[in-house]
Structure 1
Amino acid sequence: MNLNKIRVNGIPVLIWGESSDRIIIAAHGSHSSKLDDCMWVLADEAIKHGYQVLSFDLPQHGERVYETDFLTPDECVRELMLMYGYAKEHAQRISLFGCSMGAYFQLLTFPEIDIERAWFLSPITDMKRIIHNLMGYCHITEEEFKKMVKVENDIEPLYYPYYQYVRKHPITNWPHETYILRGETDTLSEYSYVKHFSDCFGCELTEQKGGEHWFHTEPELDFFRLWIRDRL
């Protein structure tokens, strides 16, 4: 597989495959990177179908783990637009692949932009729900959260400006052809919320029986490979 490491506006980027008129912009999940296992599987299958794949490290991830104090949605939206600008310079048709929070940031970024199709793995379709769940886990009220600004815990830090952005930017529009895969036992990408999103926007939703949020075991990745292969 041809794999080129470049930088786009200083951001570490991997370009998988040969030049093509079709590029997939791939966004990883939390505690992951542009080299996640699912990126390898995606690229391996997508290249066979004539795609090139662009993956990059979000702030606080991969090569950028020490770059900033906290990841914020507006910064991720800005960087996804930088990736889109690069992709448009090199290809005619742009598609998306998003995993977990990476899918959420793509939902924020591309509702009104020309996208051919999207594939989401364990997507977070309602970030406010995730934050409310974490607030409950930390036993804090919204007023307490506002005063504390940042709340450390053993799952994922909470940051009040992040929460404010999420509240002000609900996902109300998604017109693109979209395919979603989630694990049956995923407690982050909850079934009722993903199903509601799928029903609202006409997405195809597939579940892997016994699968979890993080697709990393051999059976999970094999299932993902067959799923993405049939939908490219």
Structure 2
Amino acid sequence: MGKLVIYVHGKGGNADEALHYKGLFPDANVLGFDYMAETPWDAKKEFLVYFDSVAAGYDEVILVANSIGAFFSMNALGDKPIKQAYFISPMVNLEKLICDMMMWAGVSEEELREKKTVPTNFGETLSWEYLCYVRENPIEWRIPTKILYGSNDNLTSLETMREFAQKIAAPVTVMDGGEHWFHTAEQMAFLDRWIRE
């Protein structure tokens, strides 16, 4: 039945962003996935149901995922028949990110374990359950993947990204001056070239 591209947005994004990718995959049906989940365990259920409902009958499925959407996809879809994945600023080490945020917020592991959740002044709520989940469910990802990373990404270091990429044998393309969120005209032009290559 041809080719399907599933686009998974990041936090604060939406499924309409998928429209940008229609021009990059002219021979494919491009769908944006408007998921509701905010935790990896909820996302796992939601992503599996969605994938099975839309991917049935296609000869080839390509995944394009952004930020936390890439993490949720890896957590849920590792066993699915995906031919190729393109990850834009993927969150690849949530344990490290949560521990970094705890450090920024001055919250100890003991305090988080006792309180279960701690709101921070930078808009994220730290969650003991979330931290435990990412520790107990390490990512297993064997799907051929390409990673796009901005050198000014404030959530994941290049070292962390390279370490992960090496583990899954994925090439990393670094945009000098790129941010975690690719959105300017220059950044989107760079992203388009990266996908076309």
Query: Into which bin does the TM-score normalised by the smaller protein fall?
Result: over 0.9
| Alignment-derived partner of residue 66 in structure 1 | none
2:189 equivalent to 1:225: no
TM-score w.r.t. length of structure 2: 0.93
SS in 1 for 2:82: coil
| Alignment-derived partner of residue 22 in structure 2 | 43
**Uncovered stretches (5+) of structure 1, i.e. residues with no partner:** 1-19, 61-70
1:90 deviates by 4.0
Q: Choose which of 165, 187, 195 in structure 1 pairs with 2:154.
A: 187
**Uncovered stretches (5+) of structure 2, i.e. residues with no partner:** none
Rounded to whole Å, the distance in 2 between the matches of 1:208 and 1:139 is 32
Rounded to whole Å, the distance in 2 between the matches of 1:212 and 1:145 is 30
Q: Choose which of 56, 72, 75 in structure 1 pairs with 2:33.
A: 56
Q: Which amino acid aligns with 1:197?
A: F
Rounded to whole Å, the distance in 2 between the matches of 1:144 and 1:111 is 33
- Maintained 8 Å contact 1:41/1:225: no
| Alignment-derived partner of residue 146 in structure 1 | 113
Q: Choose which of 11, 14, 26 in structure 2 pairs with 1:33.
A: 14
Rounded to whole Å, the distance in 2 between the matches of 1:88 and 1:212 is 31
Q: Which amino acid aligns with 1:217?
A: T
Q: Choose which of 96, 107, 110 in structure 2 pairs with 1:129.
A: 96
| Alignment-derived partner of residue 15 in structure 1 | none
TM-score w.r.t. length of structure 1: 0.79
1:152 deviates by 1.4
1:105 deviates by 0.8
| Alignment-derived partner of residue 78 in structure 1 | 45
Q: Choose which of 138, 147, 167 in structure 2 pairs with 1:170.
A: 138
1:145 deviates by 0.7
Rounded to whole Å, the distance in 2 between the matches of 1:58 and 1:160 is 23
2:168 equivalent to 1:201: yes
| Alignment-derived partner of residue 112 in structure 1 | 79
Identity within the alignment, %: 28
Rounded to whole Å, the distance in 2 between the matches of 1:144 and 1:91 is 48
Residues paired across the two proteins, number: 196
SS in 2 for 1:54: strand
SS in 1 for 2:75: helix
Q: String of CA shifts for 1:94-131, please: whole Å, max 9, x gaps.
A: 22111000000111112222210100000011111111
Rounded to whole Å, the distance in 1 between the matches of 2:147 and 2:15 is 20
1:41 deviates by 2.4
